[in-house]
A and B are shown apart, each in its own frame.
Chain A
Amino acid sequence: MLEMEDKTMPIVIPGEIIASEGYRAGDNTLRIEGSIVATRIGIPRREPERVSVIPLKGFYMPREKDLVIGIVTEVTYNMWKLDIDSPYPGILPAADVFGRRFDPTKDDPLRKFQIGSVIKAEIVAFDRTQDPLLTIRGQDLGEVESGFLIRINPSKIARAIGRGGSMLSKIQQAIKSRIIVGQNGVVLLLTSDPVVREKAMMAFKLIEEEAHTYGLTEKVVDLLSG
């Protein structure tokens, strides 16, 4: 973790060598002829045995147990297809919503969610050979009835949450409203006040633009209190 102690860190680009012997290739890296190279623009992260790159820009790749916020794009007789801002659409099976007694001849998926419904869901399974399987069984999951949606680049989500949720709780305190952050870059603002929405949008835009700078939490707090 040597690099972490520095205040400035170099940016690596695809094809740049970030380590040679004695390391394992972690996320967003690749081993080419004995050296480990970065495969995306980002910041190298050196752990005792592994090097990885934290991307500065990218798209959302589904991961099991992630909370995502998606919008229904297709309804079939036994499932809903959700746009989760990822290369792969989320699949919410009707059996998950209706329970085990789901009967396609009796239950109509359209009665539950329609095209355009916003749904908070958790990813149950994903392995790239099949589209990510979603569930709404769990606390606080299901259709979103009201609120505002803000989209930010998924690679900035970790920064928007902050260490142990510090950034998110500061924003929530400042705007006095609950915020739910989907790992896919969709942020749900549980308020109906347009002024609060404007403030929150400014805060998330700032996070998105300056995610890689130092002292961002203070900047966001200043912005919201000013």
Chain B
Amino acid sequence: MTKKVMVVDDDPGVIYTVKRGMEGLDKEYEITTVSSGQECIELLENNQIPDLILLDIMMPDVSGWEVYKKIKENDQWKNIPIVFLTARTDRIAKEAGGFLGDDYIEKPFKVPELKERIEKILKK
């Protein structure tokens, strides 16, 4: 069964990396890409519900935290696992506190590593 992953990031490099890397490694993944939090919410509202969301934190219009909050407050969406993509290196876990998503991965990341994490979460 094909697994749908939505990537939310304003950096085209990240979007290309995930799309090219994940699809190149495993045909089972279907990658949807959006470049802002607003678009992410719009897609969800159009009932395009993915199996997992990769969410950038530092975005210009709506921040990753806000998108995360909106998703988790919605009864329909709250079960979608979210993996944060962050450029911050060390303090992320502490700063986020209990607010952190299901996982996080630091940029720049290696695609095999990302895939490993995604698989782990989707198994649960």
Do A and B form a real pair?
A: no
